[in-house]
Amino acid sequence: MVSGIACGQMASQKKIGAAVMTTERVSRKQKVIYLDHHATTPLDPRVLEAMLPYLTEEFGNASSATHVYGWRAKEAVEQARQQVARLIGARGKEIVFTSGATESINLALQGIVKAYKDRPARIVTTTIEHRATLDCCDHLGSQGCEVVLVGVDHEGFVRLDELEEALKTPTLLVSIIHGNNEIGTLQDLRAVGELCRKAGALLHVDAAQSLGKTPLDVRELGIDLLSMSAHKLYGPKGVGALYVRSGSPGVRLQPLLHGGGQERGLRPGTLNVPGIVGFGKACSLAAELIEQEAARLSALRDLLWELLETQIPNIRLNGPRRCRLPNNLNVSFANVEGESLIMALRDVAVSSGSACSSAKREPSHVLRAIGLSKALAHASLRFGLGRWTTDEEIRYAARRVAEEVQRLRAMGFGDEGNDAPTDTA
């Protein structure tokens, strides 16, 4: 006799096996159109070419100061540091390399609270931040830090009047996502920065999604800290950076780790030279291509929305029509369960939201924050276009989505209460 637990395990194994077989069948027999560039981007061949020497013959440790291998590695790191800095209008010495945006965000938020013991431990952030920020704030809250969440409007723009009101109480730090990773809303950082300066609060910006896709100048916008990640920018995974404003006075920061003293003691550990070189090259390419890529991708994004809106009734655009990431589209489909739709689109790689939350069954906190019902939030897809997305792929993807939505609606595959959207703007 097989126990209930054993039966459940066997069923799970069968599902996993079926999923693996399905993935193999799809990858072997047909091309899958990749429209999930918010989750990660493919490595640009030019980035790989720049990295390869540091994965082979140029293997030195950038901290080795006694021989040419270490000197050349350090030189490559410093060149990359300048490339990253130039993309955001910073100085090279203000760039601290990390393992990615999640580490950068944690270093910024926790490092600030540790460094400014002489000021109130109070952080203001928004309801639509990435989980890296919200979970870090939850942790700080459990340690006695006061965390205030400011709301957003129906397009995902932070309510500046609420932010101004929140800043009437002495605040150490404001943390805000620039380009939202789900609905693409681009916040008015200039207005946010002015409110922060007026209140004497530091400003941290999560730029993981917006870096290289829309112009950013940390000095012009009054940004004190800015988190970045290479793999959202056609660079390698496992490397990112934190901009830390210098000056008189500069931003004080305490490290999360302690060790060899690398990165001015803020992020100890042997530097990932190949990854850092790749990040620098990715930033350099982004600086060259930012205007033409933004124009091309926003045109393809608008085409995708136009095709979906024409072919499918009862859909809703989530986020603003303007002031959004050029490669982002988020759409809700009434009377369709999003997970079923994603599973049906085996030849189009899309997601229902953040890759960091895709294993969870809860509806997107971002979509809920802009006013969607749980059912409609569950019925949403995020499309992320990229450097090599084509017009042909967009037209094919729109047709496939329309086909599957029609099929699923006919079969009744929708969440109870998943009514037609009242607002498609």
Chain segment 181-208, per-residue pLDDT in tens: 999 999 999 999 999 999 999 999 999 9
Between CA 33 and CA 263 the distance in angstroms is 39
pLDDT 10s digits, 361-382:
789 999 999 999 999 999 999 9
Q: What is the DSSP letter of 201?
A: -
Cβ atoms 94, 243 nearer than 8 A: yes
pLDDT 10s digits, 217-248:
999 999 999 999 999 999 999 999 999 999 98
Cβ atoms 316, 376 nearer than 8 A: yes
For residue 292, the tally of other CB atoms under 10 A from its CB is 9
Between CA 350 and CA 232 the distance in angstroms is 15
H/E stretch holding 49 reads helix 45-51
Between CA 371 and CA 269 the distance in angstroms is 44
Residue 418 has pLDDT above 60, yes or no: no
CATH number of 45-285: 3.40.640.10
Cβ atoms 230, 240 nearer than 8 A: yes
* Long-range CB contact pairs, 65-73, < 8 A, 24+: 73/271, 73/273
| Domain range summary for the chain, segments of one domain joined by + | 30-43+290-411, 45-285
DSSP lists the bridge partners of residue 240 as: 98, 229
Instruction: Give the pLDDT score at 424.
Output: 40
Residue 417 has pLDDT above 90, yes or no: no
Under CATH, domain 30-43+290-411 is a member of which superfamily?
Answer: Aspartate Aminotransferase, domain 1 (3.90.1150.10)
Cβ atoms 159, 150 nearer than 8 A: yes
Which residues are identified as catalytic?
356
